[in-house]
Homo-oligomer: A and B are copies of this chain.
Amino acid sequence: MPSIRSDETHDPKRTSWVVSARGHAEFPVQNLPFGMFSPPDEAPRPGVAIGDEIIELQALIAAGLARDVPGDLRDVFATPALRKSLRTQMSHLLSNSRYRDTAEPYLHHAADCILHLPATIGDYTDFYVGIHHAMNVGKLFRPDAPLLPNYKHVPIGYHGRASSIRPSGVPVVRPNGQTKAPDAEAPVFVPVKRLDFELELGVWIGQGNALGHPIAIADAPQNIAGFCLLNDWSARDVQAWEYQPLGPFLAKNFHTTISPWVVTPEALIPFRSPQPPRPEGDPHPLSYLWDESDQAAGGLNIELGVTLSTEAMRAQNLPAQVLSQSHARHMYWTVAQIVTHHASNGCDLTPGDLIGTGTLSGPTIDSCGSLLELSDGGKTPITLPSDETRTFLMDGDEVTLTAHASAKGFVSIGFGACVARILPAR
């Protein structure tokens, strides 16, 4: 990790001839995330976000404007050298105005395009490394012992559903589910009442490992292809009834929303930070999870946010309400520790697998990453500018997750929005 330094692609003086990229909160020329998009009425293709535009990769080869551009995004995931070469080329192309005239025809207005999942997701795993979230949720179930004895030894995770992951923008249909109120005699099958969001980061797996061959923690970074935002929509009433003894299932697998742009580890180099030291008295991680370089630079300087807008708020032209402002520093385990633990038993990770961090709540009420926490288990409603209240999500509600990375002396970058609206149950 210490060998990875910022380079000319991070130079804050570098600006793009794509005018909308200058001062862009998400996609200045220092970011250059990759993804899959369709121009209007056309087939999906790989592209790179720049300001409010998307540049089409394959066309650049044909035009002689790029070489070593991967044939499809799977190669960008699987081959760190290709990903880095792509970044260097795009940074050069998009910041030198002498390329403007020839490259401009290959730009598409992002607002006119459809964004797709960047990869066919093989397996999706969700972790639980947000320690404040684990404490908050644990308190609701076990006031005396919110954190279970394994939490500070094991990066806790579980398998999620890959098929129902959708890119930002696809509406979420309120699921029906089997629920049982604590005082009810029998369960019922009804539209869920306690529909919630969860603020998470997503981690895209790069080259991966063969079955039976773990990934040493020092090798974890080269197996990470990028990052996104992830909303782990959750039906709390289903979860409470179904989750014993094998964990969450239908409470989670009806829909997961991710931001469609893959923000690369290279773009995030200036925003690495030391992993916050463990509180006095916490156990030292076992050696397979410990790496000095990872501790020195495995943290992520990323600010996270959640906003909500309701149908009534939109009708009154009220802006979305900030529900939470949190930070990636609330991860008790680093991304490298997560990846290494996942493969420590020989489980094979493959290019395009997706890992969620778990909900990244902060220690205060205004930094909680789910309504379950924000409303104290549904007991304390939140009041909105429209004078409505919420404990959980209502039909028509729209939740937006955001992420921005900043560091002194560097241009800030963002992840793009991770947004979806709730439709009524069918």
Contacts and interface: CB of A to CB of B under 8 A. Distances in A.
Q: How large is the interface on A (under 10, 10 to 19, 20 to 34, 35 or more residues)?
A: 35 or more
A347 B250 CA distance: 8
A244 B148 contact: yes
Nearest to A177: B345
A212 B426 contact: yes
A128 B248 CA distance: 14
A20 to B, nearest CB: 33
A293 B241 CA distance: 28
A364 interface: no
A206 B163 CA distance: 15
Contact of A346 (B173, B180, B214, B287): B173
**Copies of this chain:** 2
A189 B158 contact: no
13 contacts: A150-B187, A154-B241, A156-B245, A157-B249, A163-B353, A164-B348, A175-B345, A175-B346, A176-B346, A177-B345, A178-B344, A189-B287, A243-B247
A83 interface: no
Interface in A134-158: 138, 141, 148, 150, 153-154, 156-158
Interface in A47-94: none
Interface string A359-390: 00000000000000000000000000000000
Contacts of A212: 173, 254-255, 426
Interface string A325-340: 0000000000000000
B254 A347 contact: yes
A270 interface: no
Contacts of A341: 250
A288 B191 CA distance: 13
A161 interface: yes
